[in-house]
Structure 1
Amino acid sequence: MSVLFETSLGDIVIDLEVDSCPKTSENFLKLCKVYYYNLNAFFNVSKDFLAQIGDPTATGTGGESIWSYIASQSEGTSVPRYFTPELTPKLKHTHRGTVSMAVAPSVNGNAGGCGSQFFITLADNIEYLDGKHAAFGHVVEGLDTLDKLNEVFTDQDGRPFKDVRIRHVVVLDDPFPDPEGLVKPPSSPTRPPDNSNRIAEDEDPLATLPEEEEERERRKRAAEASALTLEMVGDLPFANVRPPENVLFVCKLNPVTRDEDLELIFSRFGTIMSCQVIRDKKTGDSLQYAFIEFDKREDAEQAYFKMQNVLIDDRRIWVDFSQSVARLNTTWSNNPKMGLRRQRDNGGYGGREDLEATRRYRGEQGRGGREYDMVFDVPDGDSGRRRKRSRSGHRERDEDRSRERRRRRSRSPHDRRPRSPRRR
């Protein structure tokens, strides 16, 4: 008559003394049969002494016998929580791996006895337990698992910091008939019966990743933190923003290359929504890079592979996918409250269907709302208009002064009348 415990530290096989302890063995086997011990945790582990389990609450105060468990599943019946075990003098705690039922003392007139809690000794010759607790079995396989259990780290109450649980129970041999009213559950429980805040049994707090993976994780966390910071200060529309997948970045251009030239060359791959060579705002000179937006991502991919290192205006250009999100920040948003309204030529953006033009820019026509700015240069609409007005005012005053100076120079010397002498 044996039972197999599959624990988080390894397997343990227990043989029962059914001839010497029939009632205790029956109680233990039937509790195993109804999955009562599944996912129970070892809540009291004392080094070189014992490891206690069998309380679903993992507090040392819970648990009940199989007969009390059956009565609790039906209405109108009442059975004592504990039963009286057999205390056989010849069964002693002389060997490591002895299995005993924990005997509860009498409290407030209530009879003591055994419920579901049991323990396994972790050392030999523990005579202190003889006659006080009911030994009814011994471990025949899994002594190495007991060694691991003996070395776990525990708190001041003996509870392991990292949970050690019985994952599954298999009854290998059961000679006893089922008690009346015993119903075996269709499946074993999937959640532990206790509310544990310990380290999970499948978690390794001391696990270390390879150096490459640690560096990769560190960079990933740093990138997520930086993206969240940029979102908070307003440089990104949202932290997980992605660059558009249908926009190409073209650099190493000849300064004489115009927007129309690039659009004509790249248009053979598909419909181009916009093509803009970025220029200096003051001088108007080309900065020798451009952005080309295709209607479809597939067209952009084809142009990326075909136009790499192509000669345009005696220059070998370099083509890559755009990594800039400045345009999304200034012109686009993913506000779900705006619904699925789209402009005629703006059905989503950058491969994301949830990116929509904001109301502020929907009324703009032509190319004014679709132009790219210089890389990392995000304009401020209000301040830009104020600067334009102030510059235009200075320019008008300068032109008036220039016209006045030219008019004075153009006057002929013969037209100037001599001044009359002052009279004294």
Structure 2
Amino acid sequence: MSVLFETSLGDIVIDLEVELCPKSSENFLKLCKVYYYNLNAFFNVSKDFLAQTGDPTATGMGGESIWSYLASQRGDESIPRYFVPEIVPTLKHTRRGTVSMAVAPSVGGDKGGCGSQFYITLADNIEYLDGKHVVFGHVVEGLESLDKVNDVFTDQEGRPFKDVRIRHVVILDDPFPDPVGLTKPPSSPTQPPDSSTRIAEDEDALATLPEEEEERERRKKAAAASALTLEMVGDLPFANVRPPENVLFVCKLNPVTRDEDLELIFSRFGTIMSCQVIRDKRTGDSLQYAFIEFDKREEAEQAYFKMQNVLVDDRRIWVDFSQSVARLNTSWSNDPKLGTRRKGGVGFAGRDDLEESRRYRGSQKEHGRGDYRMVFEAPDTGSSHHPSSRHRDRSSEPRRRSRSRSPVPRHGRERRRY
């Protein structure tokens, strides 16, 4: 009549006193059979004294007998929570590894009552407990595991800082017939029954990472915290959004470089869905950077490697992958036209639920929108500062070659440098 406890600190085998304490032994074995003790924590560990467990709530106030447990499963509240303890005077706490039922003194009359909680002694000759608790078993294997339990660090209430749990229970011998209504669960529970905030039993609190990996993890956590903050203030649609992989950011442009110029230059790498030089919202002047969206990520990668530091309109441009997600916010707008989900494709930035595709130049021209807004709003058509009505009328000029060396006017503002 033995039970094997597989704990987070090693295995423990307990032999039961089934003849001297049949009620306590039957209660213990049947609770083991229904996986009642699985993933229970040792919630009270006193060095060189005892280690207590068997309470699913890990508070010292929970637990019940097997008969009360089965009755509660069928909705019967007539069965008492505890049973009368079987205190045998000849069974004493004389040696380490003695297993006893904890007795609740406030119930069950003068003798109190027993439920599911039990403890294992961690030292010899603890006469203080004799006659007060039910000794019903002894540890016959796994004393070294008890040594590990005895050495754990605890708080002022005796709760280990790092959880010590009963991972699994195996009944080696059971002489008692099952009570009416007892059904063995198909599998062991996978979640602890209590809501512990301690260090997990399978977590190494002293583990250290290499300096580079630790720095990488620190930056990853800091980025996640910053993203969550930006989501809360509304700058990001959601914290785990990532920049698109098919959009390039081009800066250090000449102020005279137009959308058409960049599209012509970059179109040799693949199909361009949108190309826009970002302009000042008020004046319409070029801010000397642009976003170019390709149909495929591979085309954007090829353009990134080939166009780095290339001379365009007497300026050596800088090309990088876009880190902006400003365009994604349109899917969270109250405007139903902007919030419509796209029906097909992989979606912008790898998400098919962010926004309706507004990339294809042909469909945009049909609706009179050919300027592919990405960051700033374009000025009204009638504004005197619109790019089409700036100081020079470019419609009558021949198409400027990308390597033009003509002087560049400042248009009343300093050029932005990157």
Shorter-chain TM range is 0.5 to 0.7
SS at match of 1:370: coil
**Aligned with 2:333 (options 332, 335, 353):** 335
Aligned partners of 1:67, 1:19: CA distance in 2, in Å? 20
The answer to whether residue 29 in structure 2 is matched with residue 29 in structure 1 is: yes
Aligned partners of 1:187, 1:272: CA distance in 2, in Å? 56
Q: Which residue matches 2:372?
A: 370
**AA matched with 1:85:** E
Structure 1 residues 362 and 221: CA distance shift in structure 2, 3 A = farther
Q: Which residue matches 1:408?
A: none
Q: Deviations over 1:186-205 (max 9, x none)?
A: 33344444454544434455
Aligned partners of 1:255, 1:213: CA distance in 2, in Å? 43
Aligned partners of 2:71, 2:226: CA distance in 1, in Å? 60
Aligned partners of 2:316, 2:83: CA distance in 1, in Å? 89
- Give, in angstroms, the shift of residue 176 of structure 1: 2.7
**What runs of 5+ residues in structure 2 fail to find an aligned partner?**
359-363, 390-418
Structure 1 residues 250 and 3: CA distance shift in structure 2, 3 A = same
SS at match of 1:117: strand
**AA matched with 1:6:** E
Q: Deviations over 1:110-130 (max 9, x none)?
A: 653533332111011222223
Q: Percent identity?
A: 75
SS at match of 1:28: helix
Structure 1 residues 380 and 119: CA distance shift in structure 2, 3 A = same
- Give, in angstroms, the shift of residue 57 of structure 1: 3.8
- Give, in angstroms, the shift of residue 212 of structure 1: 1.9
Aligned partners of 1:62, 1:131: CA distance in 2, in Å? 23
Q: Deviations over 1:352-392 (max 9, x none)?
A: 5523599xx9998365x33788xxxx67969xx99959xx9
Asked whether the equivalents of residues 96 and 124 of structure 2 are also in contact (C-alpha less than 8 Å), the reply is yes
- Give, in angstroms, the shift of residue 13 of structure 1: 1.0
Q: Which residue matches 1:410?
A: none
Asked whether the equivalents of residues 279 and 378 of structure 2 are also in contact (C-alpha less than 8 Å), the reply is no
Q: Which residue matches 2:157?
A: 157
- Mapping of residues 189-338 of structure 1, within 5 Å: 189-227=189-227, 242-249=242-249, 262-275=262-275, 291-304=291-304, 319-324=319-324, 328=327, 332=330, 334-335=332-333, 338=336
- Give, in angstroms, the shift of residue 147 of structure 1: 1.5
Q: Which residue matches 2:187?
A: 187
Structure 1 residues 143 and 387: CA distance shift in structure 2, 3 A = farther
Greater displacement, 49-58 / 271-280: 271-280
Aligned partners of 1:73, 1:232: CA distance in 2, in Å? 44
Aligned partners of 1:118, 1:52: CA distance in 2, in Å? 6
Greater displacement, 116-125 / 207-216: 207-216
SS at match of 1:147: helix
Structure 1 residues 302 and 336: CA distance shift in structure 2, 3 A = farther
- Mapping of residues 60-99 of structure 1, within 5 Å: 60-73=60-73, 75=76, 78=79, 81-89=82-90, 91-99=91-99
Asked whether the equivalents of residues 97 and 121 of structure 1 are also in contact (C-alpha less than 8 Å), the reply is yes
Q: What is the TM-score of this pair, normalised by structure 2? A: 0.68
Alpha-carbon RMSD? 4.8
Structure 1 residues 381 and 164: CA distance shift in structure 2, 3 A = farther
Asked whether the equivalents of residues 55 and 117 of structure 2 are also in contact (C-alpha less than 8 Å), the reply is yes
Aligned partners of 2:276, 2:188: CA distance in 1, in Å? 66
Structure 1 residues 274 and 183: CA distance shift in structure 2, 3 A = closer
Structure 1 residues 164 and 311: CA distance shift in structure 2, 3 A = same
Q: Which residue matches 2:178?
A: 178
- Give, in angstroms, the shift of residue 93 of structure 1: 1.9
- Mapping of residues 24-173 of structure 1, within 5 Å: 24-73=24-73, 75=76, 78=79, 81-89=82-90, 91-105=91-105, 107=107, 109=109, 112-173=112-173
Q: Deviations over 1:153-203 (max 9, x none)?
A: 333433334432222211011223334444333333444444545444344
Q: Which residue matches 1:355?
A: 355
Asked whether the equivalents of residues 335 and 356 of structure 1 are also in contact (C-alpha less than 8 Å), the reply is no
- Give, in angstroms, the shift of residue 290 of structure 1: 5.8
**AA matched with 1:50:** L
Asked whether the equivalents of residues 84 and 108 of structure 2 are also in contact (C-alpha less than 8 Å), the reply is no
Q: Deviations over 1:243-278 (max 9, x none)?
A: 443333457889998765654443344333455678
SS at match of 2:99: strand
Asked whether the equivalents of residues 20 and 88 of structure 1 are also in contact (C-alpha less than 8 Å), the reply is no
Asked whether the equivalents of residues 332 and 357 of structure 1 are also in contact (C-alpha less than 8 Å), the reply is no
Aligned partners of 2:365, 2:169: CA distance in 1, in Å? 66
Q: What is the TM-score of this pair, normalised by structure 1? A: 0.67
Aligned length: 375
Aligned partners of 1:140, 1:108: CA distance in 2, in Å? 31
Q: Which residue matches 2:411?
A: none
**AA matched with 2:14:** I
Aligned partners of 1:379, 1:240: CA distance in 2, in Å? 26
Aligned partners of 2:349, 2:72: CA distance in 1, in Å? 62
**AA matched with 2:321:** F
Structure 1 residues 263 and 116: CA distance shift in structure 2, 3 A = closer
SS at match of 2:12: strand
Structure 1 residues 332 and 11: CA distance shift in structure 2, 3 A = same
SS at match of 1:149: helix
